[in-house]
Amino acid sequence: MSAKMTVPFFNYPRVYTDDRDAFLSIFDEVGKRGAFILQKDLREFEAALAQYTGAKYAMGVANATDGLEFGWMAIGMRPGDEVIFSSHTMLATAAAVKTAGGVPVPVELGADNLIDPEAVEAAITPRTVGIMPTQLNGRTCEMDRIMAIAAKYRLFVVEDAAQALGSKFKGKHAGTFGNASAISFFPAKVLGCLGDGGGFLTNDYTIADKAWQLHDHGRDAEGEVRSWGRNSRLDNLQAAFLLHRLKTYDQVVARRRAVAAIYQARLGDMPELQLPPAPDADPRHFDVYQNYELQADRRDDLKEHLRVNGIGTLIQWGGKAVHQWERLGFQIKLPKTERFFARCIMLPMNVFVSDDEVHYICDQVRSFYHG
């Protein structure tokens, strides 16, 4: 057994310290220009984001939750309109629908722990207007099946791609399948800034124009007020930081996939665990491993064992699916999702964790089950 280490779940100071010199230079350069709101740094980042994902239009917003809300508002959601989503997601997915005036309808996860297309189709009613698949933990859903259902029933699709920048399904980027999508640049994301931040993607000019108005006080790109809106602009300084980080993004993704490969090699033979798919398990999928979420027997005891041995873990979103938060008013049971949340746990997954630390984590997991 290796000597005891301390491995935090996520080392937030390193988000800054690893790029400190570059950030200070960017801060100084942006500050000297007085370029604080809607300046060239943001325009350049938006262009780079569109090019990277293959989306026709990309827009910086204050956070991904706003971006999801703008997607439904731009489409023209009306009170009472229903949107189907997987309850295995962050509360923001459903909140965006609710805040836009609609009714979020939670459904089960499938074998891949993402939204179950069969459950989606079974939940469609005359009030259903859309589907919101969550491209979760850096993996893209079975979007051919989702889009086929949407076409069959003439439904809109807004993707919650908050955790999936760079993830692909059949060579197509998460966030570019449906009518619109949102990406998060929260500091712990694969591409993170130094605060809140988000991106909005679409291939539809009308949706892009309406979303632009919504995010900038109802003004269009020329500054003409055309509707009611609010302030949800991505800070220009954060855009400059993100533009810097996007240049080495592929290296970050490659490192995360390498960490996932070690976890798979060391833990994949353990019957007590259900791991996420390995990096090359399915050629249709290219996963970026925003998180490494697995299912484990005796989950809570494992979490405590790892804590005692210096390893940080996380049970995502307080250990509850969206529909399990009783005060939100959901009256539904989703047994598969509820079983998942009784067993799920996340191990450290980021570019700050070393190979030695990953092997130490695996040693401790194995020792918990097998001594």
H or E element in which residue 160 lies: strand 156-160
Domain 248-370 belongs to what architecture? Alpha-Beta Complex (3.90)
pLDDT in tens, the chain (371 residues): 568 999 999 999 999 999 999 999 999 999 999 999 999 999 999 999 999 999 999 999 999 999 999 999 999 999 999 999 999 999 999 999 999 999 999 999 999 999 999 999 999 999 999 999 999 999 999 999 999 999 999 999 999 999 999 999 999 999 999 999 999 999 999 999 999 999 999 999 999 999 999 999 999 999 999 999 999 999 999 999 999 999 999 999 999 999 999 999 999 999 999 999 999 999 999 999 999 999 999 999 999 999 999 999 999 999 999 999 999 999 999 999 999 999 999 999 999 999 999 999 999 999 999 97
Q: Which of 257, 258, 278 is nearest to 268 (CA)?
A: 278
Nearest 5°: phi and psi at 13? Answer: -55, -30
Quote the pLDDT of residue 2: 66
% of the chain at pLDDT higher than 90: 98
CA atoms of 319 and 266, how far apart (whole Å): 26
Long-range contact list for 93-96, CB < 8 A, 24+ apart? 93/68, 93/132, 93/134, 93/160, 93/322, 94/322, 94/328, 95/65, 96/65, 96/68, 96/69, 96/71, 96/72, 96/132, 96/160, 96/182
H or E element in which residue 307 lies: helix 299-308
Q: Where do the structural domains in the chain lie, given as residue ranges?
A: 18-246, 248-370
CA atoms of 329 and 318, how far apart (whole Å): 18
Quote the pLDDT of residue 312: 98
Identify the DSSP state of 275.
P
Quote the pLDDT of residue 3: 83
Instruction: Tell me the two tokens of residue 130.
Output: 């859309």
Tell me which CATH code domain 18-246 carries: 3.40.640.10
Quote the pLDDT of residue 234: 97
Average pLDDT of every residue of the chain = 97
Q: What is the pTM of this model?
A: 0.95
Neighbours of 221 (CB within 10 A): 11
Q: Which of 241, 197, 189 is nearest to 23 (CA)?
A: 241
- How many C-alpha atoms does 236 have within 13 Å on its Cβ side? 15
Q: Which of 289, 291, 288 is nearest to 315 (CA)?
A: 291
Confirm whether 18-246 and 248-370 share one CATH topology.
no
Burial label for 126, CB within 10 Å (0-12, 13-18, 19+), is exposed
Quote the pLDDT of residue 1: 54
CA atoms of 104 and 83, how far apart (whole Å): 5
Quote the pLDDT of residue 371: 79
Neighbours of 27 (CB within 10 A): 14
CA atoms of 250 and 259, how far apart (whole Å): 14
Instruction: Tell me the two tokens of residue 361.
Output: 């984590």
